Amino acid sequence: MKTSNVTALAALTAFGIASTASANILQNGGFEAGAGADAADWAEIIGGPSGSTERSTTMPNSGNASAYMWFDHIANPAAGGAYFIEQNQGANVVLDTESYDLSFFAKVDSTDFTGTDMFVQILWLDQDGSDGGGVKGEMLTSLVGLGINTSYQQFTMNGLDVAAGADSFILRFQVSAGAVDNVANGMYVDDASLALVPTPASAAVLGLGGLVAMRRRR
Residue boundaries of the structural domains of the chain:
1-21+200-218, 23-197
Superfamily of domain 23-197: Galactose-binding domain-like (2.60.120.260)
Instruction: Express each pLDDT in 130-180 by its tens digit.
Output: 999 999 999 999 999 999 999 999 999 999 999 999 999 999 999 999 999
Q: State yes or no: pLDDT of 11 exceeds 50.
A: no
pLDDT, residue 19, reads: 38
Residue 117's pLDDT band (boundaries 50, 70, 90)?
A: very high
- In whole angstroms, what is the distance from residue 166 CA to residue 163 CA? 6
pLDDT, residue 60, reads: 98
Helix axes 200-217, 2-20, angle to 10 degrees: 180
The reported pTM is: 0.83
- In whole angstroms, what is the distance from residue 82 CA to residue 70 CA? 9
pLDDT, residue 21, reads: 57
Q: What letter represents residue 146's amino acid?
A: L
User: Residue 218 burial by CB count (10 A; 0-12/13-18/19+): exposed, middle or buried?
Assistant: exposed
Residue 93's pLDDT band (boundaries 50, 70, 90)?
A: very high
